[in-house]
Structures are given as structure tokens and as C-alpha cells.
């Protein structure tokens, strides 16, 4: 979900090992990449324990830039609004 102002991106994500993942956004002239990073998975078997909401704030609105997955460049479908 992208906020009405285009600066806040919010996603639902699994909580591997009960830890909240980080949502990392990188801005480029024609796209914004998103990546979920799970920092606390080294001492567990990456079992998902629940779902959480994570957000990231862009330095400038998404505007007409594409929103894509950081790892493979595939487009991310989103809607504008709020949960």
C-alpha cells in the first residue's frame, strides 16, 4: 500500500522466528525498489510466527516511478490508501 501522499509504503510481512523484518526502499530516477530483510534468522529455522505491518518513508513521493522487487526487478502491485 502506498500512502495518498506517495511517500509512505506499507506492507504485510511474515515474522520469521517471531522477529519483525525491515523494509528497505531504494529510490532511483525511474523506479523504487523494495526488499524485506530478516536480520534475526541465524539462530532459528525461519519459522514464520504471525504477520506484522512494516513501513518505510521515501525521501520524495513515488509519483510515476515504478515500484519493483529489489532482488528480481519484478513489478509490485499496490494500491493507494491505508490499511
Residue 15: predicted pLDDT = 81
Determine the Cα–Cα distance for residues 80 and 4; give it in Å rounded to an integer.
6
Q: What is the DSSP letter of 29?
A: S
Specify the pTM.
0.84
Select the highest-mean-pLDDT range: 13-27, 53-67, 69-83: 53-67
For residues 25-54, average pLDDT: 82
Residue 29 — pLDDT band, cuts 50, 70, 90? Answer: very high
Amino acid at each position: 500500500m502506498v500512502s495518498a501522499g506517495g511517500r509512505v509504503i506499507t506492507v504485510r510481512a511474515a515474522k520469521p522466528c517471531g522477529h519483525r523484518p525491515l523494509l528497505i526502499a531504494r529510490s532511483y530516477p525511474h523506479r523504487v525498489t523494495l526488499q524485506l530483510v530478516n536480520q534475526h534468522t541465524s539462530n532459528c529455522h525461519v519459522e514464520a510466527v504471525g504477520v506484522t505491518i512494516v513501513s518505510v518513508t521515501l525521501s520524495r513521493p513515488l509519483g510515476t516511478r515504478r515500484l519493483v522487487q529489489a532482488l528480481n526487478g519484478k513489478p509490485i502491485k499496490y494500491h493507494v490508501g491505508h490499511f
